[in-house]
Amino acid sequence: MNPHWNGQFSCFNLVAKTDEKVRTVVQVGDLCIGGDQFVVMAGPCAVESEQQLITTAEAIAAAGARILRGGAFKPRSSPYSFQGLGLVGLKLLDKARRATGLAIVTEVMSPEDVGLIAEYADIMQVGTRSMQNYALLEALGKCGRPVLLKRGMTSTLEEVLESAQVIAMNGNSEIILCERGIRTFETATRNTLDIAAVPVLKAVSHLPVIVDPSHAAGLRSLVPVLARAAVVVDADGLLVEVHPCPDKALSDGVQSLTFTDFQEMMDDLRPYIAMRSCARGVRPHLLSRVEVT
């Protein structure tokens, strides 16, 4: 690991692992993210309609997911793409929560929207394009909800921790980090999943770390195997895109799993999740032994 890293940890004192603060467990209802549970968050890229959202929520809950994802305010690369349903989308997320008992994670893009979205969301998502929007991070420090902080697509892990520190400095240490793939020269996948980010972040920080294999791969066929990799490197959970009819999705259909794909992925992960718990019990230090020199 980069030897300069350690000297810089004093800048991240609120998010860096210390002898006193080994792990943060983010509690959402009866869920503990960053504890022993492996928590799967799933759902459509964007909330499109009541039927799309409720059927997806029911399908992912039946397969074992605990948190419903869905964007109501969408940061799209093209200004001509679907921008989300806004408040109507938030109300549909609330309806889905009441129908299924799933918690809700949804994206917030601007500081002005923090108050409104915090009324509906259990977890506030910061997207890759907003990771260094410091006005947003400051507002999220005071929002009273846990924050899911996605890695900027061209950000170093040091920059991820800097952004987490901004949220923590402003009063909120309920932060979940998310590796969602970074831009590299490779074009076969939408982004390159930096799987090493998981053990590195868990070695240097006390915050939970989850993986988003959907935005990393950009292709649905690669999502299950990358999800497996996330379990094996001891991530605390997943964020996965699922759609009732991916070919008709208004955003990110190519990387979205069908209900059947999702159920199969969850079945496939089960032995790996069991092994992860075993490895923690038998050799608790095996997966966290990353030297920071």
- Burial string for 192-217 (b: 16+ CB within 10 Å, else e) reads bbbbebbbbbbebbbbbbbbbbbbbb
Q: Which of 97, 145, 215, 220 binds ligand PEP (CB under 6 A)?
A: 215
Q: How far is the CB of 86 from ligand PEP (least distance, A)?
A: 15
Identity of the residue, 108 or 166, whose beta carbon is nearer to Mn ion in the bound complex: 108
Query: Closest Cα to residue 54, out of 10, 102, 18?
Result: 102
Write phi, then psi, for 143 (nearest 5 degrees): -85, -15
Q: How far is the CB of 36 from ligand PEP (least distance, A)?
A: 26
Identity of the residue, 172 or 251, whose beta carbon is nearer to Mn ion in the bound complex: 251
- According to the binding rule CB under 6 A, does residue 150 interact with ligand PEP? yes
Considering only the stretches 89-97, 123-131, 161-169, 196-204, report the one whose residues sit in contact with ligand PEP under the rule CB under 6 A.
123-131
Identity of the residue, 133 or 172, whose beta carbon is nearer to ligand PEP in the bound complex: 133
Identity of the residue, 14 or 235, whose beta carbon is nearer to ligand PEP in the bound complex: 235
- According to the binding rule CB under 6 A, does residue 128 interact with ligand PEP? yes
Angle value at C-alpha 34, between 33 and 36, nearest 5 degrees: 95
Q: Which of 180, 190, 206, 276 binds ligand PEP (CB under 6 A)?
A: 180
DSSP-derived pairing of the beta strands 26-28 and 209-211:
unpaired
Q: CA distances (Å), 124 to each of 28, 270, 275, 287, 289, in order? A: 12, 27, 30, 28, 30
Residue 202 binds which one of Mn ion, ligand PEP, none, with CB within 5 to 8 A depending on kind? none
Q: How far is the CB of 241 from Mn ion (least distance, A)?
A: 6
Considering only the stretches 124-132, 157-165, 196-204, 229-237, report the one whose residues sit in contact with ligand PEP under the rule CB under 6 A.
124-132
Query: Closest Cα to residue 200, out of 211, 185, 189?
Result: 211
- Burial string for 29-52 (b: 16+ CB within 10 Å, else e) reads eebebbeebbbbbbbbbbbbeeeb
Point out the residue whose Cβ comes nearest to ligand PEP: 127
- The residues pairing with 205 across neighbouring beta strands, listed in sequence order, are 16
Within 37-56, which residues bind ligand PEP (CB under 6 A)? 45
Which residues sit at the interface with Mn ion, rule CB under 5 A?
Answer: 45, 252
**Residues touching ligand PEP, count (CB under 6 A):** 10
